[in-house]
A = this chain, B = another copy of it.
């Protein structure tokens, strides 16, 4: 059964990548549970629930699709609880300001409600340089890690 659940969550994540590409805010928002707890790239420390208008505004700020990649996906499932980890790339051309090409360590927490997996927790972040600059490390690539090994 765990393989079937893992496959269901994997399909959901691929559908979300496609919804990001086509900027389908409704589809993206529908995967979240009302009890969502988010730790996001920007302040504040935590938000609760999904702000669909903010999501639509964010998607509308990009010129054309928001594309991406998902590396090193791992999904752990136990009963009606699951979590996933992956390195997600997000790329888009800005209408104003800087284009986005960013690798984002991503953790999602899921619960199954009435036979459907929903996201109850989303944690996306980038590390920051502890070199005194305290700048977000927006230029990291997974390859860089492998080069160090």
Contact = CB atoms under 8 A, between A and B. Distances in A.
B127 A85 contact: no
Q: How large is the interface on A (under 10, 10 to 19, 20 to 34, 35 or more residues)?
A: 35 or more
B76 A111 contact: yes
A96 interface: no
Copies of this chain in the oligomer:
2
Interface in A52-111: 72, 74, 76-83, 85, 87, 103, 105, 107, 109, 111
Interface string A107-122: 1010100000000110
Interface of A: 37, 39-47, 72, 74, 76-83, 85, 87, 103, 105, 107, 109, 111, 120-121, 123, 125-130, 134-138, 140-142, 144-145, 148
